[in-house]
Structure 1
Amino acid sequence: MIRLDNISKQNGQQLLFIEASASLQKGEKIGLVGPNGAGKSTLFRMITAQEVPDEGQVLVDRGISVGFFSQDVGEMSGRSAVAEVMDGAGDVSTVAAELAELEAALADPDRMDEMESLIERFGEVQGRFEDLGGYALEGKAREVLAGLSFSQEMMDGDVSNLSGGWKMRVALARILLMRPDVMLLDEPSNHLDLESLIWLEQFLTGYEGALMLTSHDREFMNRIINKVIEIDGGGLTSFSGDYEFYEQQRAMNEAQQQAQFERQQAMLAKEIKFIERFKARASHAAQVQSRVKKLDKIERVEPPKRRQAVSFEFAPAPRSGEDVVNLKGVHKRYGQRVIYEGLDLLVRRRERCAVLGVNGAGKSTLLKLVTGSTEPDEGSVTLGGSVRMGYFAQHAMELLEGNQTVFEALESSFPRANQGSLRSLAGCFGFSGDEVEKRCRVLSGGEKARLVMAKMLYDPPNFLVLDEPTNHLDMATKEMLIAALAQYEGTMLFVSHDRHFLAALSNRVLELTPEGIHQYGGGYTEYVARTGQEAPGLRS
């Protein structure tokens, strides 16, 4: 369906692709992987003809429809979310727009004299709309939006009132409704809550077209794909199987290449030693010459290219008292909406509490109450003795000083730390080499999140409150964060939609429901085993 044939592409000084080839066939569901900046988004743009390769060609079969979802959703305003989603469905959306205009005209008393012609045209357009399956399409659009956690009110409201994250869901819904022959999805799992993520997973598993996607959510990727294309060092390498198989295969290939490299190095060392020893002796001249020629002809085995995985030893957190935070009789409402009514909750030392709940259940509100960012209407929130708290929330990224570089931001937070230690910290969170000189104002959302996390964990508090800490983090940084937090001896209260993160770090689950908090000991894996569901909103 799609073929990349010996493509080369350079961006500025960076060589992204060097005579690279790959293909996407009917029925394939491909995970596109590679380090940040390797060229994943550029590859999507070349397939959709937004960019062209410097050499080689991108071949798309004639008549193939391609739907592309990217993080750059563009402007949306003046229509409902449903209308915006249906707009991606081709002719039917044009007919739907005319039908809406005619309905408005028929209800306009100033156009009574045109009534006969309006009614006639309305009948024609309505017939065309029915022929195109327009009424069924609206139902399908609402179904997709509901799967992505939209309420009826949000579906019918002006799309311009939605936040950036919700607009991304509208853009994603448009591609899903379109059901093209090929879907290209660049980070579709960003900005989704757990229920929406699982719904999307099931939708894509049942999708019969070809699919190529990127995602930093390994669980999501693993359940959908049946092939991996890896971008590494300018080349494209294909692996059949899911993400887990790719990781195993990659590790095995690396081990084999390392063993080959070491065997060859040992053989070369032996030959060079013989040459050095006997090169001055006339009696061995023929043998020496023969071995020198043999060495010249040997094709050298390269050592495997190792992904840069930086680990960092975080300082131990100081010990707190046994009771870390205690909420008693807490009431909280926003306008008419009651979030909590008489909430009681005690979090104890070394508990790692994962907070689950459907949209609007009050997950972020609970974290804000605990951190003092918002006050309860009634009741009390009390921190225990010797508790030192660190709070990671999305708004924390807005507090970075725009003119500071990454390194200056770390240095100003820890003026007594040595430079080597801070550079190591920066590298651990994905800022290597010259990247530490980037100004904070030009950092992407993901880079800001990594910097805020680095500042928080260098001198860790004994109580971490984390609101979606893995948003925007790539897989390598996420793995490093999980490894660091697994060694952390303090207390955690966190919200995340990443099931790998939830399973690796939680030892208690707080499920927020309209009836109150349901508590589960043993963490997320045990929660799934006991409830039979991966998220509260999926329970029948």
Structure 2
Amino acid sequence: MIRLDSVSKQHGGQILFLDASMSVFKGEKVGLVGPNGAGKSTIFRMIVKDEAPDSGGVVIEKNVTIGHFSQDVGEMSGRSVLEETMAGAGEVSKVAHELHELEAAMADPARADDLDKIVERFGEVQARFDELDGYGLESRAQEILAGLGFAPEVIANDVGKLSGGWKMRVALARILLMKPSALLLDEPTNHLDIESILWLERFLRDFEGALIMTSHDREFMNRLVTKIVEIDGGELTTYSGNYDFYEQQRAIAAQQQEAQFARQQAMLAKEEAFIARFKARASHAAQVQSRVKKLEKIEKIEPPKRRRVIEFDFPKPPRSGDDVVKLEHVEKGYGSKRIYRDFDFLIRRRERWCVMGINGAGKSTLLKLIVGESTPDAGAVTMGASVKLGYFAQHAMEVLDPDRTVIDSLQDAHPRASLGSLRTCAGAFGFSGDDVEKKCRVLSGGEKARLVLAKMLYEPPNFLVLDEPTNHLDLATKEMLTKSLADFEGTMIFVSHDRSFLRSLSNRVLEVGHENGPRVYGGGYVEYVSQTGYEAPGVR
């Protein structure tokens, strides 16, 4: 369906692709992987003709329709969420628009002379509309929007009132409603909760066309993709299998190349030593010349590429008391809606609670009550002895000083730390080289999240309260964070939609939103899934 044939592409002084090729066939689900800036989004833009390769070609089979979801959703306002979704449904929305115009024309007395032509055209358009399942368009749009977490009352409201994250969901719904031959999805799970991710997973599993996607959600990739295309150093390398299989194969290939490289280096050293030893002796001139020619003809094996992963040894936090935080008879509501009623909850030292619950169940409200950003309507929240609190919330990124650089921000937070250790910490969170001199105003959402986490974890508190800490983090940073927190000796409570994160870190589960109050589950997320039979509340 889609082929890149010997494509080369350069942005400024950076060579993204050099004589690179890949192909995608109907029914294939392809994961596109590579470091940030490697050219994943450029491939999408070349496929949809927003950019052209410098050389080579992008070939798309005839009659293949492409739906492209990117992080740039543009302006949305003036229509309801449902209308906005249906307006982006591709050919079917255009056919629907023409159908409405023809209906109006048939009822217009001024166009009576053209009635036969209008009726004939109406029949053609209606047949095409029926072929595209146009009459089921609205119900399919409502089903997709519900799957992506929209409440019925929100679907009828003005799309312009939504936050940026919810507008992203509308943009994704539009693409899914198109039913194209091929889907290009650039980080589709970034703004989704776990329930919506699970729904999208099922939707894409049943999708019969070709799928090419990027994602920082390892579990999502593993469950969907059947092929990985890696972008590295201007080359495209294809691996059959899911993300875990790709990592295994990449490691095996690197080991084999390392061994071949080492063997060749040993052979070259031996030959060069012979040449150096005997080049001045006339009796060995023929042998020396023969070996020189032999070395000139040898195709040199490149050393394996190693992705630079900086690790930072985070210090141990100070010890807190055994009771970290206690909620007693807590009541909390907004308007007529009661979120918590006579709620008792105790978090003890070294416990790692993940909070599960559908949208609006009160997950973020609980974290705000714990950290003191919100006060209970009744009852008490008491922090234990010697507790040093660290709180990560999405709005925490808004308090970064836009005129300070990354390294300035770290120095402001930790004035006694050495510049070298702060740079190492910044590197562990993806800020290498000149990136530390970037001003906060130009940082992306993901970069801001990484900087806030770096500031917090350089000298870790003993109680971490984390609201979706992995949003926008790339796989490498997410894995570094998960590994660091796995060794964390303090206490945690967190909300996350990342199942790898939940599985790796939790040892207790609190599920909120039940009529009879929150439920506690012994064990972590793995045990929760085993006990409940579902991966998220409300998802069967």
TM-score, length-scaled by structure 2 = 0.94
Rounded Cα–Cα distance in structure 2 between residues aligned with 1:331 and 1:101: 55
Partner of 2:86: 86
Deviations 1:43-98 (A, max 9, x none): 10010001111111111112110000011111111111111111123454356568
User: Is 1:95–1:125's contact at 8 Å kept on the other side of the alignment?
Assistant: no
User: Which moved further from structure 2: 247-256 or 130-139?
Assistant: 130-139
Q: What is the root-mean-square deviation of aligned Cα atoms in Å?
A: 2.4
Partner of 2:525: 524
Deviations 1:306-353 (A, max 9, x none): 111111100100000000000111111111221111111100000010
Rounded Cα–Cα distance in structure 1 between residues aligned with 2:100 and 2:469: 43
Rounded Cα–Cα distance in structure 1 between residues aligned with 2:358 and 2:478: 24
User: Is 1:361–1:512's contact at 8 Å kept on the other side of the alignment?
Assistant: yes
Partner of 2:148: 148
Partner of 1:109: none
Rounded Cα–Cα distance in structure 2 between residues aligned with 1:536 and 1:125: 47
Rounded Cα–Cα distance in structure 2 between residues aligned with 1:275 and 1:82: 77
Partner of 1:294: 294
The letter for the 2-side match of 1:41 is: S
Q: 1:101 to 1:318 in 2, by over 3 A?
A: farther
Partner of 1:538, secondary structure, is coil
The letter for the 2-side match of 1:22 is: M
User: Is 1:228–1:246's contact at 8 Å kept on the other side of the alignment?
Assistant: yes
What are the equivalent positions in structure 2 for 1:253-268 lying under 5 Å apart? 253-268=253-268
Quote the offset at 1:486 in angstroms.
Answer: 0.7
Rounded Cα–Cα distance in structure 2 between residues aligned with 1:359 and 1:295: 66
Rounded Cα–Cα distance in structure 1 between residues aligned with 2:267 and 2:534: 57
What are the equivalent positions in structure 2 for 1:351-500 lying under 5 Å apart? 351-500=351-500
Partner of 1:51: 51
Rounded Cα–Cα distance in structure 2 between residues aligned with 1:125 and 1:96: 11
Rounded Cα–Cα distance in structure 2 between residues aligned with 1:459 and 1:101: 65
Deviations 1:280-327 (A, max 9, x none): 333222222222221121111111001111111001000000000001
Identity level (%): 66
Rounded Cα–Cα distance in structure 2 between residues aligned with 1:384 and 1:99: 67
Partner of 1:325: 325
Rounded Cα–Cα distance in structure 1 between residues aligned with 2:258 and 2:144: 48
The letter for the 2-side match of 1:419 is: L
Deviations 1:206-262 (A, max 9, x none): 100001000000100111111011100011111111111111110000000000011
What are the equivalent positions in structure 2 for 1:185-204 lying under 5 Å apart? 185-204=185-204
Aligned positions, number:
529
The letter for the 2-side match of 1:205 is: R
Partner of 1:10: 10
Partner of 1:279: 279
What are the equivalent positions in structure 2 for 1:19-30 lying under 5 Å apart? 19-30=19-30
Q: 1:279 to 1:148 in 2, by over 3 A?
A: same
Partner of 1:422, secondary structure, is helix
Rounded Cα–Cα distance in structure 2 between residues aligned with 1:447 and 1:48: 27
Q: 1:292 to 1:170 in 2, by over 3 A?
A: same
The letter for the 1-side match of 2:372 is: G
Rounded Cα–Cα distance in structure 1 between residues aligned with 2:302 and 2:92: 56
Rounded Cα–Cα distance in structure 2 between residues aligned with 1:298 and 1:527: 58
Rounded Cα–Cα distance in structure 2 between residues aligned with 1:496 and 1:211: 26
Rounded Cα–Cα distance in structure 2 between residues aligned with 1:455 and 1:90: 45
Rounded Cα–Cα distance in structure 1 between residues aligned with 2:85 and 2:447: 31
What are the equivalent positions in structure 2 for 1:14-163 lying under 5 Å apart? 14-90=14-90, 92-94=92-94, 128=126, 131=130, 133-163=133-163
The letter for the 2-side match of 1:500 is: S
Q: 1:401 to 1:68 in 2, by over 3 A?
A: same
Rounded Cα–Cα distance in structure 2 between residues aligned with 1:482 and 1:101: 56
User: Is 2:352–2:492's contact at 8 Å kept on the other side of the alignment?
Assistant: yes
Q: 1:269 to 1:361 in 2, by over 3 A?
A: same
User: Is 2:260–2:301's contact at 8 Å kept on the other side of the alignment?
Assistant: yes
Rounded Cα–Cα distance in structure 2 between residues aligned with 1:351 and 1:125: 66
Partner of 1:108: none
Rounded Cα–Cα distance in structure 2 between residues aligned with 1:313 and 1:396: 24
Partner of 1:221: 221
Partner of 2:79, secondary structure, is coil
The letter for the 1-side match of 2:138 is: E
Quote the offset at 1:134 in angstroms.
Answer: 3.6
User: Is 2:339–2:513's contact at 8 Å kept on the other side of the alignment?
Assistant: no
Partner of 1:233: 233
The letter for the 1-side match of 2:437 is: E
Rounded Cα–Cα distance in structure 2 between residues aligned with 1:99 and 1:380: 61
Quote the offset at 1:9 in angstroms.
Answer: 1.1
Rounded Cα–Cα distance in structure 1 between residues aligned with 2:122 and 2:398: 49
Quote the offset at 1:100 in angstroms.
Answer: 8.7
The letter for the 1-side match of 2:317 is: A
Structure 1 unmatched runs, 5+: 105-112
User: Is 1:65–1:180's contact at 8 Å kept on the other side of the alignment?
Assistant: yes
Rounded Cα–Cα distance in structure 2 between residues aligned with 1:533 and 1:80: 33
The letter for the 1-side match of 2:532 is: T
Rounded Cα–Cα distance in structure 2 between residues aligned with 1:91 and 1:252: 46
User: Is 2:34–2:232's contact at 8 Å kept on the other side of the alignment?
Assistant: yes
Rounded Cα–Cα distance in structure 1 between residues aligned with 2:364 and 2:32: 32
Partner of 1:83, secondary structure, is helix
Rounded Cα–Cα distance in structure 2 between residues aligned with 1:316 and 1:511: 30
Partner of 1:534: 535
Rounded Cα–Cα distance in structure 2 between residues aligned with 1:290 and 1:133: 74
Partner of 1:513, secondary structure, is coil
Deviations 1:465-493 (A, max 9, x none): 00000000000000100111011100000
Rounded Cα–Cα distance in structure 1 between residues aligned with 2:150 and 2:487: 38
Deviations 1:435-483 (A, max 9, x none): 1111110000000000000000000000000000000000000010011
Quote the offset at 1:173 in angstroms.
Answer: 0.9
Q: 1:267 to 1:322 in 2, by over 3 A?
A: same
Rounded Cα–Cα distance in structure 2 between residues aligned with 1:240 and 1:221: 13
User: Which moved further from structure 2: 443-452 or 51-60?
Assistant: 51-60
User: Is 1:312–1:425's contact at 8 Å kept on the other side of the alignment?
Assistant: yes
Deviations 1:5-27 (A, max 9, x none): 11111112211111111111111
Rounded Cα–Cα distance in structure 1 between residues aligned with 2:246 and 2:95: 46
Quote the offset at 1:274 in angstroms.
Answer: 1.9
Rounded Cα–Cα distance in structure 1 between residues aligned with 2:166 and 2:204: 20
Deviations 1:369-399 (A, max 9, x none): 0010111111111000000000000100011
Rounded Cα–Cα distance in structure 2 between residues aligned with 1:98 and 1:152: 28
Rounded Cα–Cα distance in structure 1 between residues aligned with 2:521 and 2:177: 37
Partner of 1:349: 349
Partner of 1:417, secondary structure, is coil
Quote the offset at 1:424 in angstroms.
Answer: 0.6
Rounded Cα–Cα distance in structure 2 between residues aligned with 1:85 and 1:327: 43
